[in-house]
Structure 1
């Protein structure tokens, strides 16, 4: 079963649980969120290798420059999130809309590389996916997210007024409908179904649980699928149907960075035992530190996606991601 079908099945399962036992996700929200973030850490663990796939930083000096830039971006994001939390929150949300939205449209393009949608359709879908996964949970669940926003960026919780939330939900609903119509005109019915699933997930489940499920079971596996298809060293293996070898190669590549991420997260959790008031802002700053350079790398991946797309072994005869 392909990655996209597994992720869709996970969301369907979550929605079934919500309909059958609504209190389940409320009581398990924090655990699901933490689990989803932990499971999703490996999806950014090979960021340092991506530039070389496009012949960027292939020399010793270039590799040092790429790594130094990655660390500098992470450190800068961490300090900025602590120094200017409100501005960092606004930038983080805007970047997340583009990142998650573009991630979904990129995977869709890989499924049908010879039938790319018109650029205007792609742009509408980026905004629709991004708004559903980033803005809808804030607007739909203001009472739940307000304490976290207040701790992260004091004063920013004033944006969660009833009027603002209703406006955000209305605009999100409008762009989802527009995206659905545009996708229907290009006969991308699977994309419509997936957009509907994500909209239901973030509308019906508490925000922490919804994001944990989305990040760990949907976004991260699909991004890993995209990465293994992009790595030039995997093209021959995938064409030969040697998926276990491809996944084992990715596991080896991601092992050390993933371990480092878990160690840093463990240290943060340990420190929070004695400094509980600082846990939320420092924790979000830590996520920002991981996210900022990752966004840069994914933007590079997006920019160069057109170059190797014809070499991707993503065809109906080879199955899906």
Structure 2
């Protein structure tokens, strides 16, 4: 989340000589495995493989947003009453998103894509212009439409309705621009010394094009995006014992998974389409996650300005 920009420099912006450029070893292992699977023509697009990739991106990706409330409490020093109000508001936004999937699914899908683009764009601190960062974040969504437009269309339709096919065509149209901007960001990161990040992001984008959409997204979300934010959050919450840290992430992720199950029970996604339901769950928690991260980012900026002044 945006806290990462202030706690530990994003590659290429405040990371001279490659510092702050670490990419988890698990990413390289997962990327090598996915590359081998793609070149070996393994059936990664079959239902069983898609289900496995879905479990990976939900189980491995949700925990990075599980510490939002703890971060807020640390930044704002809230008492119990105010904290309860914040938690209630957070839950209300999640509930509103879930309701939106039942009443306005196409709008919910568009909102999800916009929020995801903004959030993923926060990884690109070396790009100064906010709109260009959003475009770089959108490349994560756009890349799969180049290699697997049919699979992306089926997923979007399952998440909303038949009108989602038009949305896929819009995403395909913007894909070249988004990927070009991301290529510029990769070049800037490389020149700035963040070569691990640049190499990892370039390989990830290639795999997002080449691999089936859910497998490619799981690689990015679980092995590249989430670990960076988890590491930054751990720095902010370093006084938490490891047991409490793990228990917090596990409990809140389990709560989100219970919500996923409830979404399926409400038949928001077609029966049996666990992947559509998983992305709907991700969308439902992504909106409050982004709003809270933006608020924390502004508060940290004010605190830094006050200290420097």
**TM-score band, normalised by shorter chain:** 0.7 to 0.9
Task: Kindly state the Cα deviation for residue 193 of structure 1 after the two structures are TM-superposed.
Answer: 1.1
Match of 2:55 in 1: 34
Q: Does 1:140 align with 2:142?
A: no
Contact 2:23 2:197 in 1 (8 A): no
Which of 110, 118, 128 lines up with 1:119 in the alignment? 128
Q: Does 1:64 align with 2:84?
A: yes
Task: Kindly state the Cα deviation for residue 32 of structure 1 after the two structures are TM-superposed.
Answer: 1.2
TM-superposition CA deviations, 1:137-172 (whole Å, max 9, x none): 2343211122222231331212334xx565333213
For the residue of structure 1 that corresponds to 2:44, the secondary structure is helix
Distance 1:269 1:197, change over 3 A: same
Which of 281, 287, 292 lines up with 1:286 in the alignment? 281
CA distance in 2: counterparts of 1:213 and 1:154, whole angstroms: 28
Match of 2:17 in 1: none
CA RMSD of aligned residues (A): 3.1
Unaligned runs of 5+ in 1: 107-116, 235-244, 310-321
Match of 2:13 in 1: none
Match of 1:52 in 2: 73
Match of 1:264 in 2: 259
For the residue of structure 1 that corresponds to 2:239, the secondary structure is helix
1:232-251 paired onto structure 2 within 5 Å:
233=239, 247-251=242-246
Match of 1:98 in 2: 118
CA distance in 1: counterparts of 2:194 and 2:302, whole angstroms: 23
Task: Kindly state the Cα deviation for residue 181 of structure 1 after the two structures are TM-superposed.
Answer: 3.4
Deviates more, 1:297-306 or 1:255-264: 297-306
Match of 2:98 in 1: 78
Higher helix share: 1
Match of 2:41 in 1: 22
Task: Kindly state the Cα deviation for residue 123 of structure 1 after the two structures are TM-superposed.
Answer: 6.4
For the residue of structure 2 that corresponds to 1:298, the secondary structure is helix
Q: Does 1:190 align with 2:211?
A: no
Q: TM-score, normalised by structure 2?
A: 0.77
Q: Does 1:170 align with 2:165?
A: no
CA distance in 2: counterparts of 1:305 and 1:193, whole angstroms: 30
Task: Kindly state the Cα deviation for residue 24 of structure 1 after the two structures are TM-superposed.
Answer: 4.0
Q: Does 1:202 align with 2:208?
A: yes
Task: Kindly state the Cα deviation for residue 278 of structure 1 after the two structures are TM-superposed.
Answer: 8.7
Task: Kindly state the Cα deviation for residue 65 of structure 1 after the two structures are TM-superposed.
Answer: 1.4
Match of 2:168 in 1: 160
Task: Kindly state the Cα deviation for residue 270 of structure 1 after the two structures are TM-superposed.
Answer: 6.1
Contact 2:121 2:135 in 1 (8 A): yes
CA distance in 2: counterparts of 1:278 and 1:197, whole angstroms: 29
CA distance in 2: counterparts of 1:148 and 1:185, whole angstroms: 37
CA distance in 2: counterparts of 1:248 and 1:292, whole angstroms: 28
CA distance in 1: counterparts of 2:105 and 2:265, whole angstroms: 23
Distance 1:306 1:233, change over 3 A: farther
Task: Kindly state the Cα deviation for residue 207 of structure 1 after the two structures are TM-superposed.
Answer: 0.2
Contact 1:92 1:288 in 2 (8 A): yes
Task: Kindly state the Cα deviation for residue 132 of structure 1 after the two structures are TM-superposed.
Answer: 2.5
Q: Does 1:131 align with 2:151?
A: no
Q: Does 1:299 align with 2:294?
A: yes
Match of 1:111 in 2: none
